[in-house]
Amino acid sequence: MEFDHVAQQVPDIAAAVEWQVRTVPGSRVLHQDATWALVESGGAKLAFVLPDQHPSHLAFRVDAEELERLAVRHGAEIATHRDATRSIYIEGPGALATEIIAYPEEA
């Protein structure tokens, strides 16, 4: 398991991306649409998400087999996303949320 990204809920994806790129020199937009964005800044990946679509969270990358095992262990349903990644969310105390994510084999 390795760290993948941190996600922050924002009300406006475009405004958040523009601010991040303007504020942190060298930031690179990896993906952006109206509903979410992924920016690499200072060696870390930061996802901006809409509040009604994803919680703010920390994400950790695993392989497909480990994702299946953890889904069973936590009683979580695996979701397949538009970019073909698959993941589960595990809710912790308070507002703590963790995403466990697996990328397609070719990623």
3-state secondary structure of 15: helix
Do the Cβ atoms of 66 and 4 come closer than 8 Å?
Answer: no
Quick one: pLDDT at residue 83?
A: 85
**Burial class (CB within 10 angstroms; exposed 0-12, middle 13-18, buried 19+) of 67:** buried
pLDDT tens-digit series, residues 4-53: 999 999 999 999 999 999 999 999 999 999 999 999 999 999 999 999 99
pLDDT tens-digit series, residues 72-101: 999 999 999 888 999 999 999 988 899 999
The answer for residues whose C-beta is within 8 angstroms of residue 70's C-beta and 6 or more apart is 62, 76, 88, 100
